[in-house]
Structure 1
Amino acid sequence: MKPFAYLRADSVDQATAAYASRPGPRYLGGGTNLMDLMKLGVERPATLIDVSRLPLDGVEEQPDGSLRVGATVRNSDLAAHPLVRDRYPVLSQALLAGASGQLRNIATTGGNLLQRTRCPYFQDVHKPCNKREPGSGCGARDGVHRDHAVLGHSEQCIATNPSDMSVALAALDARVELRGTDGERTVPAAEFHRLPGDRPEQDTHIRPGELITGVLLPAATAGLPSLYRKARDRASYTFALASVAVVLRTGEGVVQHAGIAFGGLAHRPWRALRAEEALRGAAPTTAAFEHALDLELAAARPLRDNAYKVPLARNLALDVLGRLAPPHAD
């Protein structure tokens, strides 16, 4: 075992200061991903800064009707929260589609956002992986890549983001709250994660030492019809081959708002901006849904063994849009 130092932070300021002053630091929340990676030798922190007991475990309604979720709220508690289930059902559904009940009881909101890919080449230190060891190559590209990305990938990396929760947050126009030694800022959830480009080792746009303090669910998408669907190899406790979160508002015979995000297809939750634009102001018909999704998925670049993901994602999204939209003749 590689030895490491351990510090339990009593405040956010203490946590960020410790990160800035200690060697090889990592924040520790629920640890459901970090501990696994440490056991595999992928992560080798010199210092663990325990943030699990910080006072960030509340779900609070804001004066403008938005909902603030603290970074240490457990996934199971968030999924079961009455305000989340009532106003943002897509988020509750996505959380319940992820992991097992035992893991959801430990995993935190912040940790879920920061979990790393489950690509087997990343998790095996004996295999080449540009994400784990920049410049070593991408073993998955010419190897086993049935579960890998079809959108936004690069020559350097074809890994996918594993989070179900992040897909729902992207569709909801949520924002991620961050605090570092330089102060506070917020980032749209849909832009928090990065595409791999030539720096696949960087999963997110978080700055060194910044701590996720919460997630803000906006009032604008509260109460809108929403739904999450996930396709996977077995009924539970596995990651998405493809998933979709949709937030939809229709009125006066047209689509007034559409928030669509795919999971399992890219290095980050994939916000379907082309499809959303095509649907805005269109009648909610099957033909309109098909046209919008085809526009979005035209950007897909499947590899040898994962072309099935494109029609799978299309059919999932078509089903969800049809369930959310009121009946309307084509």
Structure 2
Amino acid sequence: MTTFHWRLPTRGDGRRANPALRGRGGFGPAAPTTIATDLRPGVFGPFDDLAQVVNAAELGGFDGVLAPYDPLGEESWIVAGAALRATRYSRVTVEFQPAFGTPVYAAKVSATLQRHSAGRLNWRIAVETDEAEARNRGDRVTGDARYARAKEFLTVARGVWNETDVAAAGFAGTGFDYAGEYYNAIDGGFRGILSGIPFPTVYLSGTSSAALDLSAQAGDVHVFTEQRDGIDSLATDLTERATKAGRDVRLALELPIIARETEAEAWARVERQWGELDRPDAANDHRLDSTRWAGFAALGYDQPIGLVGSYEQVAQQLSQYQALGIDEFILAGHPNIEEVHRAAEHLLFLVDSNRTLAREELTA
């Protein structure tokens, strides 16, 4: 069964093309006063808007949500914790960079979140963050050294997590020991109620040789982003590296989408938003083929290339990715509440036939 996640907004939301003008969630300008304006200032905060998106994703049939790492937005760990508390079945992926804290601390926080969510937490490690932003938070590790550190981070986190309570009486001398370039642990490990909990599924990303090697050796799922020339060779490369390492790494793809009943409606939406930006180029200049469009970054999306078209066209393109071995998708769209409903109601069942019966039962 294909797995679908929705990327949560952590820096405001809304209909405007310019992210700075999106006022939902407490970011951007104040909402204009209208006859429908809520006259109770301070009653609802930014997490009320996020909660609606999370709720819409779960009720619509998405398998999970992603709380992205965003230095200028809401803290992903807090967003993830709130999403886990607000859902019953959705998996919640928290994206963070290894300098967030020690791997032991990250594991301890996650063990508690796993206990409180029946094991629904995933990790997505943000290794290739902006170097200037990294310096702002005191992180001096750069280049491929970031991948070496990330590998040690995962080794230590898994080590202390999986260390069992061998000695029922007294915990001394039964722990995990590790001496590396970036981290050390002596007699570490979770015992008692924190032991025996499933470790979070680890999502990694990147297209460099160091990134693919890290996923092949230590990742559970590798998240690709669409490239102008496609991701065929990258997917093959990663699969070969994982096979050589004796591992099976699942493949995922992160994509922004604009999908409507007809192709004309979808492109009309693109043109309306493009017209807000006062750019010298045309939206059509960034069209790569019938559905792939490389203008999403101009509209404030994190990924520049995504899909535009009718629900059937977008579903067909997603099915082509499935043929490459992609079995997980992370979709994005704004305004989030409206777009997650559209995708859930009109798109998911077209890609994954296993969802058709459930949809028919819901609409009967």
Q: TM-score, normalised by structure 2?
A: 0.27
Q: Which has the larger radius of gyration?
A: 2
